[in-house]
Structure 1
Amino acid sequence: MHDLTAFQRDLLFVVAGKSKPAGVAIKDEIEEYYEKKIHYGRLYPNLDTLIDKGLVEKGKKDGRTNGYIITNRGRREIQARCDWENKYYN
């Protein structure tokens, strides 16, 4: 996870916290957290990066909507990040 941007890391956490979210659901969560509009031109290339790194998979949610799922590797990366943060926070 050390090679992800903060935005990509936040996307990974959102995907992990939802059940096969569509891009719109991920966008809504990120916009709420960042308190600003996130354009699709920023969202989807960063989701594609997570897919390319093997942290997220994209599949069909219905006939025209994609859903995103965290991979086992993605879960391990999140756990490692949480462990690292807890070392300094607690």
Structure 2
Amino acid sequence: MDLSPVRRVARPVAVVALLLAVADVFRWGNRWYVSTMFGGAASGDPLAVERLVGAYTALLTGLVWLAVAVVAATVGWRLRVVATVSP
């Protein structure tokens, strides 16, 4: 199986990006939980607000890593959307 250099690189990039996305989801959950321990953003506690900002930054970063993983997987494994026609 002879892969092009782009596909050869895209496959490990997809796997690493997926792992980073999962790690960021855990980081988001952890930081969100810690922010609720300080009363949440509604309490006005600066530490809670800081943790909540960090939580949603991690969530956004995780979504970006997920998008990178999907694009790299599409390139690496030649994923296609197949339309089916019903009779």
Common topology (TM > 0.5): no
Could you say which structure has the higher strand fraction?
A: 1
**TM-score (normalised: structure 1):** 0.30
Q: Which has the larger radius of gyration?
A: 2
**TM-score (normalised: structure 2):** 0.30
Q: Which has the higher contact order (CA 8 A, sep 6+)?
A: 2
